């Protein structure tokens, strides 16, 4: 019956770990069944042949993947690069990057402003910035639509002020998408930036001023390098959902300015080409993974701040 303390603690530890697996089982199973697992099915589907009325035929085929990159002329069977797809991918990346930059330009001063308020006021300001984030994305897109439509607030105001003589078509343009995306994703930039800025040691800033640094130099050479983890975290948090947006381009782009998300939807709706849709989905996930790897490389586990 003599058990050494080391053995005992080892047994206890093993039991503890086993208990922890039991505790996490429900969450893991739920996510496995209704989130992570289905992703594997998407990979599988990308290698099957399309069925005639949607769905798939159970036969191995690389057509889905072929069609992501190439298109075959239906008359003379010539193969060319799928320019439509490339242009939509390229467009999506461009829009997502532009959104990220705009969020950065607007979000950095906002986060800085909040971080330099007296401590007891900061959470109120943060709350004010996050409220729109917790309201329905569709409602926010609809709100933007209302403001920029031809007879909307912005056009009416500009007309009254005599700045323009005829209403500007803003809705259903790239501008509308960019505006909506920036509007929707701004809090995702502000939160991690704030988390970094809040920890900023202002003695370093003071030291820089004492050494005759200009304001611009203090900002670019002291503050920005110190909050780099927050900058990268915020950019990734904006870039990824912006790249895969579906609702904003649909509501504000009016169906002609497609992004990857809408292209994927098309294949499962009117296009009835599920394998192509699956292959496009996997491609999107791959791009997201590259962005995440970049994040891990540059910020790693040193902590990038709050999560949206």
User: How far apart are alpha carbons 304 and 221 in whole angstroms?
Assistant: 20
Interaction of residue 307 with other proteins, rule CB under 8 A: yes
Tell me which of 16, 73, 76, 77 binds other proteins, using CB under 8 A. Answer: 16
Interaction of residue 220 with other proteins, rule CB under 8 A: no
For 39-56, letters b (16+ CB in 10 Å) and e give eeebeebbbbebeeeeeb
Interaction of residue 92 with other proteins, rule CB under 8 A: no
Interaction of residue 93 with other proteins, rule CB under 8 A: no
Interaction of residue 261 with other proteins, rule CB under 8 A: yes
User: How far apart are alpha carbons 247 and 177 in whole angstroms?
Assistant: 10
Cα 170 to chain centroid distance, Å, stands at 24
**Given the complex with other proteins, which of 177 and 243 has the nearer CB atom?**
243
Residue with tokens 């009416």: 156
**Given the complex with other proteins, which of 90 and 202 has the nearer CB atom?**
202
Tell me which of 100, 110, 235, 257 binds other proteins, using CB under 8 A. Answer: 110
Binding residues for other proteins restricted to 179-198, rule: CB under 8 A: 183, 186, 191
Binding residues for other proteins restricted to 277-296, rule: CB under 8 A: 277-278, 281, 284-285, 288, 292
> Shortest Cβ distance from residue 205 to other proteins (Å)?
5
Binding residues for other proteins restricted to 29-58, rule: CB under 8 A: 30-39, 41-42, 45, 55
User: How far apart are alpha carbons 31 and 11 in whole angstroms?
Assistant: 30
User: How far apart are alpha carbons 91 and 85 in whole angstroms?
Assistant: 10
Cα 278 to chain centroid distance, Å, stands at 20
Interaction of residue 106 with other proteins, rule CB under 8 A: yes
> Shortest Cβ distance from residue 298 to other proteins (Å)?
17
Interaction of residue 306 with other proteins, rule CB under 8 A: yes
> Shortest Cβ distance from residue 50 to other proteins (Å)?
13
HSE, CB side, 13 Å, CA atoms: give it for residue 73. 6
Alpha helices (runs of H) in 62-214, residue ranges in sequence order? 63-69, 83-115, 119-134, 137-148, 153-160, 174-198, 202-210
Interaction of residue 247 with other proteins, rule CB under 8 A: yes
Binding residues for other proteins restricted to 119-148, rule: CB under 8 A: 123, 127-132, 134-140, 142-147
**Given the complex with other proteins, which of 83 and 201 has the nearer CB atom?**
201
User: How far apart are alpha carbons 277 and 271 in whole angstroms?
Assistant: 9
Three-class SS of residue 59?
Answer: strand
**Given the complex with other proteins, which of 3 and 44 has the nearer CB atom?**
44
């Amino acid at each position: 019956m003599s058990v050494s303390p080391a053995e005992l603690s080892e047994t206890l530890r093993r039991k503890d770990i086993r208990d922890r697996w039991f505790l996490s089982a429900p969450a893991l199973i739920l996510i496995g069944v209704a989130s992570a697992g289905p992703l594997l099915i998407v990979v599988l589907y990308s290698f099957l042949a399309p069925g005639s009325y949607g769905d798939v035929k159970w036969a191995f085929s690389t057509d889905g993947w072929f069609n992501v990159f190439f298109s075959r002329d239906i008359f003379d069977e010539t193969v060319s690069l799928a320019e439509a797809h490339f242009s939509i991918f390229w467009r999506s990346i461009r829009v997502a990057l532009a959104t990220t930059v705009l969020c950065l330009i607007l979000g950095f001063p906002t986060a800085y402003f909040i971080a330099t308020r007296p401590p007891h006021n900061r959470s109120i300001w943060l709350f004010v910035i996050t409220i729109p984030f917790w309201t329905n994305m569709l409602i926010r897109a609809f709100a933007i639509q209302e403001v920029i439509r031809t007879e909307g607030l912005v056009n009416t105001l500009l007309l009254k002020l005599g700045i323009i003589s005829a209403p500007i078509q803003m809705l259903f343009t790239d501008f509308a998408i960019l505006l909506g995306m920036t509007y929707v994703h701004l809090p995702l930039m502000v939160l991690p930036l704030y988390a970094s800025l809040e920890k900023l040691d202002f003695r370093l800033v003071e030291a820089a001023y004492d050494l005759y640094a200009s304001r611009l130099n203090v900002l670019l050479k002291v503050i920005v390098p110190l909050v780099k983890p927050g900058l990268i975290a915020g950019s990734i948090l904006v870039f990824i959902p912006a790249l895969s947006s579906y609702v904003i381009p649909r509501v504000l782009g009016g169906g002609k300015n497609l992004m990857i998300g809408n292209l994927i939807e098309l294949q499962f709706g009117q296009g009835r080409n599920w394998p192509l849709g699956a292959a496009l989905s996997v491609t999107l996930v791959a791009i997201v993974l590259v962005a995440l790897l970049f994040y891990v490389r540059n910020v790693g586990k040193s902590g990038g701040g709050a999560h949206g």
